[in-house]
Amino acid sequence: MAKFLIIEARFYEHLNDQLLAGAREAIAAAGHAHETITVPGALEIPGALALAAETGRYDGFVAIGVVIRGETYHFEIVAGESARGLMALSMDGLAVGNGILTVENEAQAQVRADPAQKNKGGEAAQAAIAMFELKKRFE
Active-site residue, from 14, 32, 34, 74:
74
Pick the binder of ligand LTPLIIQW from 13, 54, 71, 139 (CB under 6 A).
71
* C-beta of residue 49 within 8 angstroms of C-beta of residue 63: yes
| DSSP assignment letter at 11 | S
The residue (of 90 and 102) whose beta carbon lies closer to ligand LTPLIIQW is 102
Length of the chain: 139
* C-beta of residue 128 within 8 angstroms of C-beta of residue 62: yes
Tell me which residue has its CB nearest to ligand LW54GNZ2.
41
Pick the binder of ligand LW54GNZ2 from 23, 27, 43, 96 (CB under 6 A).
43
CA distance 91 to 109: 27
* Straight-line distance from the first to the last Cα atom of the chain, in angstroms, rounded to the nearest whole number: 17
40 scored as a contact of ligand LW54GNZ2 (CB under 6 A): yes
Catalytic (active site) residue 14 = no
Minimum CB separation from ligand LW54GNZ2 for residue 9, in Å?
Answer: 4
Any known ligand binding at 98?
Answer: yes
Residue 6: closest CA among 43, 51, 54, 45: 45
Any known ligand binding at 68?
Answer: yes
| Residues annotated in a binding site for 5-amino-6-(D-ribitylamino)uracil | 11, 42-44, 66-68, 98
